[in-house]
Amino acid sequence: MPNLSEHLTKFLDQKTFAHLATVMADGSPQVSPVWIDHADGYIRVNSAKGRVKDANMRREPNVAISMVDPDDPYSFTSIKGKVVEITEDGAEAHIDALAYKYLGVDTYPYRQETETRVTYKIEVQQIAGKNVSSKLT
């Protein structure tokens, strides 16, 4: 089991919005805010089958994630990683756990009947970021 650094778990354990970057079929980047957590040394995000980021991660498993500490906007982290597992198993429970973490509710309130939730397990490959006084430009 890989170890996530304390620097990183500090971000992941808070209600931090993660900005997940993926690559489109035409090679251009896409980035949008997602909820995030971690288990067994992997970062986990959740989406629904057929979404842009779902299609992108199935085609190109290289992803990047950027986060700013909600309590300290000058502390940030920027990660490069690889999607090592894509599964619908447990993905419903996972989105409920994220809803609990971010919204304090037991069940994800925006569930749509037609959607299939998916969990993406991401292996961290590179971490950059500091507690700034470093540079954001």
54/60 Cα distance (integer angstroms): 10
The answer to whether residue 123 forms part of the interface with another protein (CB under 8 A) is no
CB of 128 to another protein, least distance (A): 7
Which helix (H) or strand (E) element contains residue 12?
helix 6-12
Supply the minimum distance, in Å, between the C-beta of residue 85 and another protein: 18
Q: Which is nearer to another protein, 33 or 90 (CB)?
A: 33
Of 4, 43, 45, 68, the one binding another protein by CB under 8 A: 68
Cα-Cα end-to-end distance for the chain: 35
- Give the Cα separation of 50 and 118 in Å (integer): 10
Site residues for another protein, 18-37, by CB under 8 A, read 19-23, 27-33
